[in-house]
Amino acid sequence: MKQHEIIESIENHRRKLGYKQYEFAEMMGLTPVQYSKIKSGRRPLYGTELCQLAAELDMKISTLIAYNETLLT
């Protein structure tokens, strides 16, 4: 799975759960600018950040990155 696909899955979760971007950034231990750079592909998403977000959401990493638009309906 490529980073942009993981980010898309994370963003789908964020929107579905009603969080703002800055809230997800805080959950991952990032600034909003860092989160924006990850979203735009200008910075890598590190595994530790993904683990932290999954823990904050009480969700398995596999669930977090497998989320897609078809689950929104």
Quote the mean pLDDT of the chain.
87
d(CA 58, CA 37): 25
Q: What is the pLDDT of residues 36-69, one digit of tens each?
A: 999 999 999 999 999 999 998 888 999 888 866 5
Domain 3-67: top CATH class: mainly alpha
Strand ranges, E, within 1-73 = none
d(CA 45, CA 60): 17
8-state DSSP, 37: H
Q: Residue 70 pLDDT > 70, yes or no?
A: no
CA distance readout (Å), 12 to 7, 26, 48:
9, 17, 20
